[in-house]
Amino acid sequence: MLCGIIRIMNKFIIKHEEYIKRTYQLAKSAQEKGNHPFGALLVIDNKVVFTAENSVISDNDITRHAELNLVSKVTQELDPEALSQGILYTSTEPCAMCTGAIFWAGISNIVYGCSAVVLGEIAGGTFVVPCRDLLKYGKRQINVVGPVLEDQGAAIHRNFWKASE
β-bridge mates for residue 88, sequence order: 42, 110
78 touches a second copy (CB under 8 A): no
* Per rule CB under 8 A, count of chain residues that contact a second copy: 30
Cβ count within 10 A of residue 40: 30
Please report how close the Cβ of residue 32 comes to a second copy at its closest, in angstroms: 23
Are the C-beta atoms of residues 116 and 128 closer than 8 Å to each other? yes
Residue 66 sits in the site that holds a second copy (CB under 8 A): no
Classify residue 56 by its DSSP letter: T
- Does position 63 interact with a second copy (CB under 8 A)? The reply is yes
> Angle CA(103)–CA(15)–CA(116) in degrees, nearest 5?
45
**Residue of 1, 139, 141, 164 that binds a second copy (CB under 8 A):** 139
Identify which of residues 16 and 157 has a Cβ nearer to a second copy in the complex: 157
CB of 90 to a second copy, least distance (A): 15
Question: What mask, x for binding a second copy by CB under 8 A, covers residues 15 to 44?
Answer: ------------------------------
Q: What is the dihedral of CA 2, 147, 109, 23, to 10 degrees?
A: -120
Note whether 71 binds a second copy by CB under 8 A.
yes
Peptide bond into 147 cis (omega under 30): yes
- Treating both helix axes as pointing N-terminal to C-terminal, what angle do 2-32 and 150-164 enclose, rounded to 10 degrees? 20
What 8-state DSSP symbol labels residue 80? H
Looking at the annotation, which residues are catalytic? 67
Binding of residue 5 to a second copy (CB under 8 A): no
* 10 vs 63 by CB, closer to a second copy: 63
> Where along the sequence are the contacts to a second copy (CB under 8 A)?
59-63, 68, 71-72, 75-76, 95-101, 103-105, 125-129, 134, 137-140
